[in-house]
Every structure is written in C-alpha cells, then in structure tokens.
C-alpha cells in the first residue's frame, strides 16, 4: 500500500513538473520582443537579429525548441544568462545556500516563538496572555512583509543601532531578515497552536486524566501538548516550499544574496533565461519538499495512504 | 439559514462588527475621499519637498501627513492610492472567485477526465508560489495595471477551485440532486441552480478571507515596480518611494504601511467574523 502510494505521488510530481516546464518554456515565447533582440545591442539590424535567432534555434518549430530545452534541463543546462553571460545553473547553485540558510533560521524562529505562544494562549483562553497572542497573530497575518522589513530596519538598525540592516556572512546579519521572514509564519503557528490546544483540552481523555488526579501541569505538557502539535507539524511541512519561495521581498529589502534577490534583479534586467529558470527551480524544490512531506506523513499516519 | 438569525449573530460577533465598521469606513474613504482632496496626487511641487506632517494644525487644507520627495501631498496620495488598491483587490477577488468556482464545479460534477485535468492544473499552480509566478509573468508581459490584474487572477483562482470541487463532491451525492436528474434536468441546471446555492456560504467566507491577501500581494508587486507604476499612487509604490528616505523622513514609509496594515487587518477581522456568523460550527 505504501509503495503504491509513493509511486502514485511520484507520478503526480513528475506530471506537475512537466507542466511547470511548459509554462516556463512558454513564458519566454509570449514575450513581446524576441529573446534574440534582447541579447543584442539596441542598434542591431533586423538581419543580425535573424542571424541570432538561427543561432539560438528560435527559427525551428516550437516542439523542436521545447525538446531542446527539456533535454538541456536533463543535462543540467538551464540556458545562458543575458546579464551575467554565464551558465544559469551555476548562478542558481551559487545563490541557493543563502536562501536555504535564511529559510532555516526563519522557520526556527517561527517555531520557537509560535509554538509556546500558541500553546500558552490555548491553555488559558480569555487571559491577558491569550489576548496578546491573538493580537500578535492577527497583526502578523495582516502586515505587508515589505513594510515589516522596513520597520525592522528603522527600529533595530537605525534608531536602536543594534543590528545590521544588510550584509551576508556574520551571524548577526541574518537576525533581521529571518525575523521579518518568519513573523507571518510565527503568527500562523500561534493561531493554529492556540486552536489546537483548545480543541485537545476539550477531549474526554484530558478530563479523565485530570479526574485521575494527575497534576494539571503534567496533563498539559505530557498529554495535550503533543496532540496539539500534530496539525502544526503538518501545516509547516506543507507550507515549507511556498514559504521558501516567498523570500523575494525580504531578500530584496535586506540585500540578501539568495534566489529571491536574483529573481528580482533578473526581472529588472529582462534576463528571461534567469527568470524562467528560477521559476522552474523553485517549483522543483517545492514539488520535492511536498513529496517528502507527504511520504513522511504517510509513514507517521498510515491512514493517509488510503485516501 | 434565515436572515433574522444571521443578523442577530452579526450583531453579537465582535470580529464581524469591528471588521465590518472599519471596512466600511475605509471603503467610504477610498470612494468619496478623492473628490474632496485639495492637492493633486501626481503633480510635483519641488518647493514643498519633505514637509513634516502637520496633522490638523492647518485644518484639512494643510499637508496633514506631510509631503514626499517630489513635494506631493502624502495624504492625497494615500486617499487616491486607496482607491486603486481596493478597486484592484475587488476586481481580482470577484474574477478569480468566478473562474475558480466554475472550474471547480465542473471538475467536481463531471469527474473523470475533466476532473483529472483541472485538478492537475491546480497542482501545477499550487507548486508555483503566486508571488514568483506573478513576477515571472509581469517580467515578460511588461508592467501595466491590466497585466497586474490578470496575474493576480491567475495566481489566486486555485483556492476557489479546490473549495468548490470538494463541496460539489459532497453535495452531488445528495438526494435532491438525484431527484432533479430523474426529472430530466440538464447538467448546467443542476450545477448552477441546484448545487451552487449549497456552496455559497463557504465561498463567501473564502472571498472575505482572500481579499486582504490580494491587497498584500498587490502591494508587494507595486513595491518591486511590477504593479501600479508611478506617478500613479498605490500604497505599495508609496512604500517603495519612501524606502530611500527611510531613516531621514520615516513617515513616507510608515504612513502607507500603516494604512495597508489597518486595511488588511480590517478585512481579516471581517473574514473571521463572516465565518463565525455563517458557519458557527467551525469556530
């Protein structure tokens, strides 16, 4: 059963990635000006453009171009960046570690803040702590990441002079970007932890354990906490991919040298090959993460394979 | 559900009342405001650069929230920008809800190949985060308000599609649908007249929750110069413009960001409130 489930999910992932590759391929073709013209200086004559099109294979039928594109991908060739004049795959591989690092720290931040806050709020609904936790969550979900980033720079970097607002390398540099990137997720986790805890505390087995005379602290930490955690883990797993890609704004504002910033610069420079490939690589990462999360979930909870 | 009960619940739900009243105020502000402002939102006035907020010391005639780097009145731009942000969010939410719901109902009702194709399409769009997809499409098509709206619709219909499909799957097994089929009703009659009214509650809840999201994505795109392009004001590009002067003239960033936060917060409150009112079981 598990094997069949994994094979089916794998098949779905391959289909999705195939469709994404078509979208990425089509993107460059629907552009108002041809990629050949983009690569040449403005003074290029029509003949030069035509020659470049032949050189790039743009004169061939679409299915031939697509075949060339997709077979290139399987050989690790994502095309050449018009801006950097080098291999796109190399540029992306260069930027990926920074993005992964930022996301790992941001997720950690979100978990460390969100879980205790949600659990404490959920165990005492209506209290002052609960009020502040709900407020924290609501604001986190309503704040534009752009504005949050700028506010953080203004407060922590400019006024308090505590943290650097840009840079990459020293550990302090990651604090502001990770905080900004993690806050919306922390808000979501707080919210889920709170409602999860409230649901669990209503269950009969909690009443039963309390009736048995086991201390409230033990019931909360040992019985309720673990069960309230399950929806959070699932949610974080499923959102991980989307979350990783959402770093565009944060990376741009904090000049963080990751994929998001690369993507933003590529758009500014009309570097289509790079835009196309960041889309593809991002989707591939997300698809693989979702696949892994699904498999891990099915190992933990075998009922999932039956769906 | 009868309307009396819903009205009673509305009055009792704090979330709904706070959200509803604030949203109404913001909408009125955005719709009526632009006809009352004293200054021109797009005209430069280089002698009045970076004036500090005067609040109401000069009444409504003064630069209530100060001026920006080109001497334009910040309050005027905020009011005019509100109109753009809300209008775009409205168009996008309505269009993506209609598109997503129709596709979702077709998938759920017909099943088979149609279902498989539409659901795989959903998977594809779910595996590309909407901001990345929007950036890629706008990068290629070029920046314009129409493109911005198209891109936002493309990236937000999936939720409605999945929701309506799942609801249709449940509803179509009910007896009244079979009865209708026996009486010889056409597929379109069953989908739109029999099944659709049963999924409206869920849709209204999703619409009210998505509205704030659309505003945020639009602001992010405008911030990256991929949305509404200057000099036309939008909250996103106002924040972008103020970014350069963040430490020297912080109000240029703080004011539009605050407006954005309050608006999204109000719509999120409304969304939660609508859910409490229409679907009390889920809370």
Q: Are A95 and A88 in contact (CB under 8 A)?
A: no
Tell me how far apart the alpha carbons of residues B190 and B181 are, in angstroms, rounded to a whole number: 8
Q: Pick out chain A residues at pLDDT < 70.
A: 33, 301-307
CA distance B186 to chain A (A): 31
Tell me how far apart the alpha carbons of residues B247 and A205 are, in angstroms, rounded to a whole number: 55
Q: B266: phi > 0 → left, psi -120 to 50 → alpha, else beta; which?
A: alpha
Q: Which residue in chain B has the smallest CA separation from A279? A: B132
| Helix, coil or strand: residue A162 | coil
> Distance from first CA to last CA of chain A, Å, rounded?
11
Say yes or no for a CB contact (<8 Å) between A19 and B121: yes
* Predicted-complex ipTM score: 0.83
Q: Which residue in chain B has the smallest CA separation from A31? A: B140
- The count of domains in chain B is 1
Is B1 part of a structural domain of the chain? no
Per-residue pLDDT of chain B (283 residues; tens, 9 = 90+): 678 888 888 888 888 899 999 999 999 988 888 887 777 777 777 777 777 777 767 766 777 777 887 878 888 888 888 988 899 999 999 999 999 999 999 999 888 899 989 988 888 888 788 788 888 888 888 888 898 999 999 888 998 999 999 888 888 888 888 898 899 888 888 888 888 888 888 888 888 878 988 998 888 888 888 888 888 888 888 888 888 888 888 888 888 999 999 999 999 888 888 888 887 665 4
Chain B hits for A287, Cβ within 8 Å:
127
> How many contacts, defined by CB atoms under 8 Å, are there between A and B?
138
pTM score over 0.95: no
CA distance B233 to chain A (A): 16
Tell me how far apart the alpha carbons of residues A110 and A187 are, in angstroms, rounded to a whole number: 8
Is B2 part of a structural domain of the chain? no
Is B172 part of a structural domain of the chain? yes
A168 DSSP assignment: S
Is B107 part of a structural domain of the chain? yes
Is B181 part of a structural domain of the chain? yes
The residues in A 151-210 lying below 8 A from B, measured between CB atoms, are 151, 153-154, 158
Q: Which residue in chain A has the smallest CA separation from B237? A: A146
**Residue B114, domain CATH:** 1.10.3720.10
Cis peptide before A175 (omega within 30 of 0): no
Is B182 part of a structural domain of the chain? yes
Is B3 part of a structural domain of the chain? no
Question: Which among B4, B125, B248, B251 is positioned nearest to A147, based on CA atoms?
Answer: B251
Chain B hits for A19, Cβ within 8 Å:
120-121, 124
Say yes or no for a CB contact (<8 Å) between B219 and A270: no
Tell me how far apart the alpha carbons of residues A169 and A180 are, in angstroms, rounded to a whole number: 18
Chain B contact present for A245, CB below 8 A: yes
Domain that holds residue B101: 11-278
Chain B hits for A245, Cβ within 8 Å:
129, 131-132
Say yes or no for a CB contact (<8 Å) between A146 and B219: yes
Say yes or no for a CB contact (<8 Å) between A275 and B265: no
Q: What confidence score (pLDDT) does residue A133 get?
A: 92
Say yes or no for a CB contact (<8 Å) between A151 and B257: yes
- Residue A294 has which token pair? 């699904």
Q: What confidence score (pLDDT) does residue B281 get?
A: 60
Is B243 part of a structural domain of the chain? yes
Q: What confidence score (pLDDT) does residue A9 get?
A: 85
Residue-wise over A30-57: b if at least 16 C-beta within 10 A, else e? ebeebbbbbbeeeeeeeeebeebbeebe
pLDDT tens figures, A261-285: 888 888 888 788 888 888 888 888 8
List, in order of start, the domains of chain A with CATH numbers. 2-74 (no CATH), 90-306 (1.10.3720.10)
Choose, out of B115, B117, B140, the residue to mutate when testing the contact with A (most A CBs < 10 Å).
B140
The residues in A 120-149 lying below 8 A from B, measured between CB atoms, are 138-139, 141-147
Say yes or no for a CB contact (<8 Å) between A283 and B224: no
């Amino acid at each position: 059963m598990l094997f069949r489930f994994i094979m089916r999910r794998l098949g779905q992932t391959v289909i999705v990635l195939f469709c994404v590759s078509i979208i990425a391929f089509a993107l460059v073709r629907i552009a108002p000006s041809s990629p050949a013209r983009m690569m040449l200086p403005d003074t290029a004559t029509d003949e030069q453009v035509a020659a470049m099109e032949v050189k790039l294979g743009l004169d061939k039928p679409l299915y031939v171009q697509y075949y060339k594109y997709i077979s290139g991908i399987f050989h690790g060739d994502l095309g050449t960046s018009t801006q950097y004049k080098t291999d796109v795959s190399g540029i992306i591989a260069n930027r990926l570690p920074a993005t992964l690092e930022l996301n790992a720290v941001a997720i950690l931040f979100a978990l460390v803040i969100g879980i205790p806050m949600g659990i404490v709020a959920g165990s005492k609904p209506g209290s002052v702590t609960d009020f502040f936790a709900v407020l924290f969550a609501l604001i986190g979900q309503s704040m534009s990441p752009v504005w949050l980033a700028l506010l953080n720079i203004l407060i922590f970097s400019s006024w308090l002079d505590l943290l650097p607002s840009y840079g990459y390398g020293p550990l302090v540099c990651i604090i502001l970007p990770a905080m900004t990137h993690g806050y919306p997720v922390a808000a979501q986790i707080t919210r889920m932890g709170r409602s999860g805890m409230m649901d669990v505390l209503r269950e009969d087995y909690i009443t039963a354990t309390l009736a048995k005379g086991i201390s409230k602290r033990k019931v909360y930490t040992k019985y309720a906490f673990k069960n309230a955690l399950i929806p959070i883990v699932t949610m974080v797993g499923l959102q991980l991919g989307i979350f990783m890609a959402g770093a565009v704004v944060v990376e741009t504002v904090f000049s963080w040298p990751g994929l998001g910033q690369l993507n933003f610069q590529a758009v500014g420079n009309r570097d289509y090959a790079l835009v196309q490939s960041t889309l593809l690589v991002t989707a591939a990462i997300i698809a693989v993460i979702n696949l892994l999360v699904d498999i891990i979930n099915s190992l933990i909870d075998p009922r999932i394979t039956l769906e | 559900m009868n309307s009396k009960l819903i009205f009673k619940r509305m009055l009792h739900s704090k979330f709904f009342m706070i959200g509803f009243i604030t949203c109404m105020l913001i909408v009125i502000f955005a719709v009526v405001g632009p006809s009352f402002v004293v200054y021109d939102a797009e005209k430069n006035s280089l002698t009045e650069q970076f004036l500090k907020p005067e609040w109401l010391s000069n009444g409504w005639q003064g630069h209530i929230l100060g001026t920006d780097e080109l001497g334009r009145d910040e309050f005027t731009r905020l009011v005019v920008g509100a109109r753009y942000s809300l209008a775009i969010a409205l168009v996008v939410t309505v269009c993506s809800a209609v598109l997503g719901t129709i596709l979702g109902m077709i998938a759920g009702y017909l099943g088979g190949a149609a279902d498989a194709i539409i659901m795989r399409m959903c998977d594809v769009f779910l595996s590309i985060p909407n901001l990345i997809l929007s950036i890629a499409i706008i990068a290629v098509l070029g920046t314009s308000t129409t493109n911005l709206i198209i891109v936002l619709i493309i990236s937000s219909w999936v939720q409605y599609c999945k929701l309506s499909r799942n609801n249709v799957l449940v509803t179509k097994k009910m007896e009244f649908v079979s009865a209708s089929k026996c009486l010889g009703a056409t597929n379109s009659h069953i989908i739109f007249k029999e099944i659709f009214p049963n999924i409206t509650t869920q849709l209204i809840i999703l619409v009210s929750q998505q509205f704030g999201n659309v505003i945020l994505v639009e602001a992010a795109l405008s911030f990256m110069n991929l949305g509404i392009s200057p000099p036309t004001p939008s909250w996103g590009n106002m924040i972008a413009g103020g970014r350069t002067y963040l430490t020297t003239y912080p109000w240029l960033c703080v004011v539009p960001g605050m407006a954005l936060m309050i608006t999204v917060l109000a719509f999120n409150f409304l969304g939660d409130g609508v859910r409490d009112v229409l679907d009390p079981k889920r809370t």
